[in-house]
Chains A and B, each alone.
With several copies, the nearest count.
Chain A
């Protein structure tokens, strides 16, 4: 048996998430957002969470509902403020939630660094802007860069299209977004998929997330 584990319910998949965990949550807007897993996490009750995701919730569902339930201490994201981000906006204005705004590409690259064993990297994004505050700046070949550190997750909750029983994953269109990167950056990756197939069904050339980097799978 391989380390990927197929569980039949989202509740079983998220059962082990501890209070105080850092949870990477996939999705860009609604595309690729693992709604079943987030709903299960709300039922599960883990609190004092740090959430890393591109957005900070839309409307009253998904991440917004997790935030509304008071389970989140801090959000790292690139774009919290949206037309329908009133839950986050309210909590933030009341000082009930911490926010670290990270440029979208740095969010992805810092998670990639965590998954790739890179200790830190020099990135040209945000040089000379308020988001450079507190970061080490260095000039390399005449261009300025900021030193960026990895973002690791205890857990990643991501959506994918099809998994095989070994944990190979493929995605669908732009729902791929942060999923493959988060799967490498978390100690345990929990995946919500549309379908689980037998090993040998997926085209080995088209696998996007191979199993060594994801350790859980859920329907």
Chain B
């Protein structure tokens, strides 16, 4: 952990994905049951305080998942959703896929954090398909997670490499879920989204008015 929450709150620069992971880790309530999506969200686990009591769920059938396995601890029968070898913590439990997704859909997870191509101001999520005609579709557990957890957070860069905003009035990419995202964490700022529209919570390395103008957000 290279930064502390108080550092980040004052950040006057765009956050790195590691710094952003630390910000999200601080916002996850102690004792929460949490699913971290494949890719960047996985980093959040490294920033959870040791005494947080956060219980990690992995869609492939486990609660109380521990950190990535190294060396002799690598076991091909024990991986996370990204197929990376992981470890188990005391109090772990294994279950089959139907039970694992029942747990999701049934509202038994407090938070899941997903990556995204686009998030709409009203909470629509697009993170499974670029919509390109020759792309091979692959959804995995994204749609199940999107509608399952009590709170769905997105972790992403705010702009594409070519500078297009990924937080948008309406998604142009195929949807993963409708109105399912409640908060969007990005390198440039944190946003609440949902039925009441978008609200800037904090910004990094950019002022709120400047960000609002660039994204087409009305500041209230």
Contact = CB atoms under 8 A, between A and B. Distances in A.
Interface of A: 1-3, 28-32, 78-82, 88-89, 92-93, 99, 101-109, 111-112, 114-118, 123-131, 164-166, 168, 171-181, 184, 198-200, 202, 204-205, 207-208, 210-213
Contact of A212 (B55, B59, B98): B55
B148 A117 contact: yes
Contact of B31 (A2, A172, A177): A2
B96 A179 contact: yes
B94 A104 contact: no
A212 B109 contact: yes
A115 B97 contact: no
Contacts of A92: 136
A130 B89 CA distance: 38
Contact of A101 (B90, B94, B95, B139): B139
| Range of interface residues on B (Cβ < 8 Å) | 35 or more
A103 B141 contact: yes
Interface of B: 30-33, 53, 55, 57-64, 75-79, 83, 88-98, 100-109, 124, 129, 134-144, 147-148, 174-178
Contact of B94 (A30, A164, A207): A207
B136 A127 contact: no
Contacts of B104: 105, 117
A96 to B, nearest CB: 13
B137 A104 contact: no
B143 A181 contact: no
Contact of A30 (B32, B83, B107, B178): B83
Contact of A105 (B57, B141, B178): B141
Nearest to B109: A212
B107 to A, nearest CB: 6
Given A101-B137, A176-B96, A210-B63, A128 B144 contact: no
